[in-house]
Amino acid sequence: MRHLPPLNALRVFEVAARTGSYTEAASELGLTHGAVSRQIGLLESWLGQRLFTRSGRRMVATPIARSFASEVSGAFERMTAAAEACGRPDARRILRVNAPVSFAMRWLIPRLDLFHEACPSVEVMVTTVSTVHEELRGGFDVAIRRGVAGVGGWPHHRPTPVLDDVDTLIMSPSLFAQRPVLDPADLEGHTLLATETRPGDWIDWLEAAKLPHLIGRPRTLFDHFFITRQAVMDGLGVGIGPLPMLDIDIAMRHLLTPLPHIRVRRTGYVALVPEGTDRAAHSTRFVEWLAGEGGQTTPVV
């Protein structure tokens, strides 16, 4: 028999390291905070060293624990793939997709019915992250992040470009009716709404619009774009928004782009599948579908 560490403790440890919180791990696993702490203590005793240290009121994974958690996550991914390969052919499969909040809400989720029509045996479970640059850790079959699909850019993952991204000016139809923006100079006097997770959007757009004198103007700042988007829809000011992610809002007349010819190209989105995943797996089919929906012709690699 292999001398394995306690597998349930490993499972609890992986979730605690991935979420960065005993409380969140307890919630995800349906355990108490004390049960999480006991399982991690059991694993620490087996390994003979601490895996978490206290920082204020939180328990933070040590550097060696983060490295160990990455290996454990990879092992769980391989076991999941092996179990799926050995499962019943007619069984319904769950595909775990992790994506930034705005991408999930405004682009992915409205299109999922199309994927379900093409692959009715696959159930897509979407979880979100608050930033497109959040660290990649286990617990997903496909992750969406902002970036390029260059060689070596995503260690231990196979990247595929799925969606281009350009920024342009957005505002509500009601605000446009009151104070139309037909020319860049019409922006004078409007309230500018900005997003903390999309730094530089206004600076780059104002430079493209040849309005550098407005760069230093105060802006109302929100922490995430989906809040900024709602503020723009409510007519509280004008913002910078990504296309084609907002195509549905524009088609439904929730938003409009008053100066659509002034655009700033951004780094697009890629879909990431852990290395070792079977290329015939449902995750590969899902990525191919994503790339097709995003108008990408680059083959899955």
Q: Where in the chain is the domain with CATH 3.40.190.10?
A: 87-162+267-293, 166-266
Find how far residue 43's CA is from the centre of its chain. 31
Partners of 97 in the β-ladder:
126, 142
Per-residue pLDDT tens, the chain, 301 aa: give them: 468 888 899 999 998 998 888 888 888 888 888 999 999 999 999 999 999 998 887 888 999 999 999 899 888 888 877 776 776 655 567 889 999 888 898 899 999 999 999 888 888 999 888 765 555 665 688 999 988 887 677 887 889 999 999 999 999 999 999 999 999 999 988 999 999 888 899 999 999 999 999 999 999 999 888 899 999 999 999 999 999 889 989 999 999 999 999 999 998 999 998 877 766 678 888 999 999 998 875 444 4
| Residue 228: both structure tokens together | 């900024």
Strand 93-100 relative to strand 142-146, pairing: parallel
* Long-range own/partner contacts, residues 63-67 (CB < 8 A, 24 or more apart): 65/13, 65/17, 66/17
Separation CA 100–CA 143 (nearest Å)? 9
Q: Count Cα neighbours of 194 within 13 Å in the Cβ-side half-sphere.
A: 18
Say what the pLDDT of residue 43 is. 94
Say what the pLDDT of residue 298 is. 47
The 10 Å CB-count burial string (b at 16+, else e) for 92-120 is eeebbbbbbbbbbbbbbeeeeeebeeebe
Q: Which fold has domain 7-70?
A: Arc Repressor Mutant, subunit A (1.10.10)
Angle, nearest 10°, between helix axes 7-19 and 22-29?
A: 120
Contact 175, 235 (CB under 8 A): yes
Q: Which fold has domain 87-162+267-293?
A: D-Maltodextrin-Binding Protein; domain 2 (3.40.190)
Burial class of 141 by CB neighbour count within 10 A (0 to 12, 13 to 18, 19+):
buried
DSSP H or E run through 239: strand 238-243
CATH of domain 166-266: 3.40.190.10
Angle, nearest 10°, between helix axes 33-47 and 7-19?
A: 110
The CA distances from residue 135 to 99, 146, 241, in Å, are 12, 12, 24
What's the pTM value of the predicted model, to 2 decimals?
A: 0.64
Separation CA 17–CA 66 (nearest Å)? 7
Q: Where in the chain is the domain with CATH 1.10.10.10?
A: 7-70
Separation CA 286–CA 123 (nearest Å)? 11
pLDDT in tens, 22-72: 888 888 888 888 999 999 999 999 999 999 998 887 888 999 999 999 899
Say what the pLDDT of residue 88 is. 62
Say what the pLDDT of residue 129 is. 80
Residues with Cβ within 8 Å of 270's Cβ and at least 6 positions away in sequence, in order, are 144, 145, 146, 147, 148, 149, 154, 159, 160, 161, 162
